[in-house]
A and B are shown apart, each in its own frame.
Chain A
Amino acid sequence: MSTQSYNPFETAQHQFDHVADLLDLGQATRDLLRWPMREYHFSIPVRMDDGSVHIYRGFRVQHNDARGPGKGGIRFHPMETIDTVRALAVWMTWKCAVVDIPLGGSKGGVVCDPHNMSQREVEQLCRGWVRQVSRNVGPVLDVPAPDVMTNPQNMLWMLDEYEVIHGGKYPGFITGKPLSIGGSQGRKEATGYGVIFTVREALKDLKLKPQGVTASVQGFGNVAQYAVELLQQIGGTVVCVSSWDQGAKCAFSFRKKSGVSVEELRTITDPFGGIDRGKAQDLGYEVLQEDAWIEQDVDMLIPAALENQITRDNVGRIGKGVKLIAEAANGPTTSEADVALCARNMFVIPDFLANAGGVTCSYFEQVQSNMNYYWNKDEVFGKLDTTMTSAYHAVRETANKRKLTMREAAYVISISRVAQACKDRGWV
């Protein structure tokens, strides 16, 4: 799918319009929720290592904060556009609402390619971004987090800059911080584990036991690794994972019918989730072509890599035995493929429900940072599980009651919660 022809914000608006019709929302509510409430567009001058000054374009979009402070990551990407950031801010609003955490939706970005920047230049960019919006973000306004090509170190620079400007310690300004400086236990596992908490509940609905259930997973990054880990811990078997090969510029699928071993694969995986093909073969894995993960004869698929991966072209190749798709990635299924999945009566856990474990744990980090008291892993995972499980059941119940797909039901819950908050505040 070409990014030139695809406008994610238009997609987000279409999705909203469909659900607004289902909910019969009033015009004012529609007008409010179709667009972000606030957008900040700014320039960030950075003195480069060669002495020149480069001006970067930055954004912060706050879609809706009726339910609480905005929450959303900051992306550093050379192809960043305001419409991408807008769409992602909208989806953050719905994601926070579906798991019922008291946060709104935001997203930020900078048009840049960190691969071509030194650490000092990236630090200047991070600090520059905060200087531009420091009056409009903060623990009680809008809480940023890492996202595409930003990391915990970047968050720490941003926090430091924010604290210098505001003259105090505000660890709740930003999440995704290193564990040693205000991060939360369990953050790295949270998204993957959250996926499997919803999968576990879906298996109950499908009358399947986790013991003996088989899965194929696209991707082997952070989310995929922890999803595979927990699925295996509850008794499931993952027979195939795929990963991007930077050298070959394409992905490969790695299959072991007796079940892949996360521990084993981690030893031959680079920090970006790329599995070493040669070493994988040595360990007894079959190395298959890119799309092979989708064709496996398994009970469930977990796309945990990128958007637009299950498409009109490959949806027909999904194995006949597949009963469940858990969307661990954001937007892995195109709308055409989604229609085909519905026609097959496939049970789909939609992305913004399945992968909401990440933002839920970010919320936990924010809470801990604001009170400067930190929980142990037991507490984090206990809360994460009950939050995700409650959210799943609410969506499932709505889907059953209103005869909707899980995706429609998740949107219905989210949008109605946000609309209600706007109404309760007297905005509409």
Chain B
Amino acid sequence: MESLLAPFDRTFFDPSQRFKVIGTGSLGGKAHGLAVIQDILAMSWDNTSFPGIDVSIPSLTVIRTDVFDAFLTRNELHKIAYADEDDSYKAYAFQKAALPAEILGDLRALVEQVHTPLAVRSSSLLEDALSEPFAGVYETKMIPNNQPSVDERFRRLSEAVKFVYASTFFRSARDYVRATSHRTEDEKMAVILQEVVGSPVGDRFYPNVSGVARSYNFYAMGRARPEDGVVSLALGLGKTIVDGGKCWTYSPAYPTIAPPYRSSVELVKSTQSTFWAVNMGKPPAYDPINEREYLVEGTLQDAEEDGRLQYIASTYDPASDSRTPGTSRVGIRVLDFSMLLASRELPVNQLVRNILAVCAESVGAPLEAEFAMTFDPPRFGFLQARPMVVSQAEVTLTEADLRSDRTRIRSGTVLGNGIVDTISDIVYVKPEMFATTSTRAIADELADLNNVLTSSHRPYILIGFGRWGSADPFLGIPVAWGQISGAQAIVEASIPDLNIDFSQGSHFFHNLTSFHVSYFCIRSGGSDSIDWQWLQSQRIVNDRKFTRHITLPNPLTLKVDGRSGTGMVASHE
């Protein structure tokens, strides 16, 4: 398939061939996934099934991995790359290096004709490994690419490419690789230069809707079956979803049924309140090694002024405690996508279901897809696609198991499947020390403990509060996957007074499922529980300000029944 891809001929927007390549090496996992989807769309997608909607992969050019090799070798960057140095030191060293001369004309030709934002994405060689997904490990940089000067646009593009290259060797990425069967030395990076789906409004450029759709739902609730899949939607760039921010998650089989929030107030609090866009306005402070250099976070008020809310927001009236689809009334805006999901003119839900079905059938496995949409003109752009790992082992959990005195953790909402009886270590966040203002410091402590435990090959159970891996430190602990890569089970206890929807950040989520990490959600006020008293009586190995590592004389037993979503951890004194 790769041999059929067109070499970049210095035409980026080419309707006859949207996928082009520079170089001769590998495409990397992400680009390979898109090449597969392109193939599927060409072979199996009926373009007439949704007339008027352009369903496609946004124009992209992939710089293959041989260019990465040449960049490292010719600039003698290997030593710095593998050194135990700060990320910023490495990023600057990469910025100072020169890209291979043979691709620079292509990059310059690209920015000479493209004046709209570009996403510069990683596509690493190891991402091809299904069981080790590398989701969200490397950096993506959005650039506005709207400066009047070609020179300026070229500089920003080449800086972004070097930044993505440097991220191969950032600490979190190296930690992550260490948790797999690979070495950083095995890794090679291709780079995807992709048109950003969206349209400009004032100084912002963003899609009407971004989404992550999965054809298998590990969190199926109510009438929904796991096979019905799950879709998360957000206003603006997909960063909100993949970083685990607040978004609208629903079952595509029941698109009009809202998530089970306890009250309208809780729903208002739990839905998306800010969004990400590419900053097309005044250039920010020059910072080529910052992933968010050209991103801007807007509020719902900004989006309303941009005219972007009318099809995706409802209006909440506190007086009557009711939600009305649309924004014609005065009130609190709630991003519940209700008009969109009920729309016949733009049947988004049916489109997503059909596409998922076609793609999952073609690849022969459940699939996770990231997409972005514009309404005018109607366009559905595939941004990424990757297969999901679904365990089929049968585990039975009896009531006796769950009620046993030795059951230390119990949950009716568990992600995963299987039995593990080789874990003797637990790392937990001390309940008395937890505060949403301390989550960054907690993440740092956890990274240290993870380093120690992974170095001695000791898998562990990790217990903490709020949404793991959230980019928003007030929603949970903002760890990168590499910082907790040794955890074999993760427990998410709810934060008092803040009942946040479970983690749906696609990168984090994908890593969980692919590494077979069980994920326990402990809801307060139900039958879920953690035996804190028992935890605090165990032998302490490392006691930090916010966190503690304990070790047990005998391994624990961890059981998860993926069919019922129940799970428990039992001790053996």
Spell out A's residues near B (CB within 8 Å).
186, 189, 193, 197, 200, 211, 230, 233-235, 375-379, 381-386, 388-389
Contacts and interface: CB of A to CB of B under 8 A. Distances in A.
Nearest to B70: A233
A393 to B, nearest CB: 10
B10 to A, nearest CB: 8
B158 interface: yes
Interface in B119-172: 151, 154-155, 158
A186 B100 CA distance: 12
A186 to B, nearest CB: 8
Contacts of A186: 101
B342 interface: no
A230 B102 CA distance: 7
Contacts of A375: 151
A304 B105 CA distance: 23
A200 B105 CA distance: 12
A267 B292 CA distance: 45
Given A211-B24, A233-B70, A235-B24, A385 B101 contact: yes
B107 A382 contact: yes
Contacts of A193: 101
Interface in B35-67: none
Nearest to B74: A233
Given A211-B24, A233-B70, A378 B105 contact: no
B493 to A, nearest CB: 49
Which residue of A377, A382, A384 has the most chain B CB atoms within 10 A of its CB atom?
A382
Contact of B104 (A211, A235, A385): A385
Given A383-B108, A385-B108, A386-B109, A378 B102 contact: no
Contact of B155 (A200, A379, A385): A379
Nearest to B95: A376
B221 interface: no
Interface of B: 10, 24, 70, 98-102, 104-109, 112, 151, 154-155, 158
Sort A-B residue pairs by CB-CB distance and give the 5 closest, nearest first. Answer: A385-B105, A382-B108, A377-B98, A382-B104, A381-B101
A376 B99 CA distance: 10
B305 to A, nearest CB: 38
Nearest to B161: A378
Nearest to A204: B9
A233 B106 CA distance: 15
Q: Which of B24, B108, B109 has the most CB of A within 10 A?
A: B108
B7 to A, nearest CB: 9
Nearest to A383: B108
A378 B107 CA distance: 10
A235 B109 CA distance: 21
B502 to A, nearest CB: 44
Q: Is the interface of A mostly helix, strand, loop or mixed?
A: helix
Contacts of A382: 104-105, 107-108, 154, 158
A197 B24 contact: no
Given A384-B105, A385-B104, 6 more contacts: A186-B101, A230-B101, A233-B70, A376-B98, A385-B105, A386-B112
B105 A386 contact: yes
A234 B102 CA distance: 7
B289 to A, nearest CB: 16
29 contacts: A186-B101, A189-B101, A200-B102, A230-B101, A230-B102, A233-B100, A233-B101, A233-B102, A234-B102, A375-B151, A377-B98, A377-B101, A378-B98, A378-B154, A378-B155, A378-B158, A379-B151, A381-B98, A381-B101, A382-B105, A382-B108, A384-B105, A385-B101, A385-B104, A385-B105, A385-B106, A386-B109, A388-B105, A389-B10
Contacts of A379: 151, 154-155
Contacts of A235: 24
A108 B216 CA distance: 76
B24, B99, B101, B106 pick with most chain A CB within 10 angstroms: B101
Contacts of B24: 211, 235
A385 B201 CA distance: 35
A426 to B, nearest CB: 32
B400 to A, nearest CB: 67
A332 B105 CA distance: 28
A313 to B, nearest CB: 36
Of B99, B100, B102, most buried by chain A (CB within 10 Å of CB) is B102
Contacts of B109: 386, 389
Contacts of B98: 376-378, 381
B147 to A, nearest CB: 14
Contacts of B155: 378-379
Given A233-B70, A385-B104, A386-B105, A378 B112 contact: no
Nearest to A234: B102
A379 B102 CA distance: 12
Contacts of B154: 378-379, 382
A193 B151 CA distance: 20
Contacts of A383: 108
Contacts of A377: 98, 101
Nearest to A380: B104
A378 B104 CA distance: 6
A184 B443 CA distance: 46
Contacts of A189: 101
A41 to B, nearest CB: 41
Contacts of A376: 98
Contacts of A378: 98-99, 104, 154-155, 158
B247 to A, nearest CB: 38
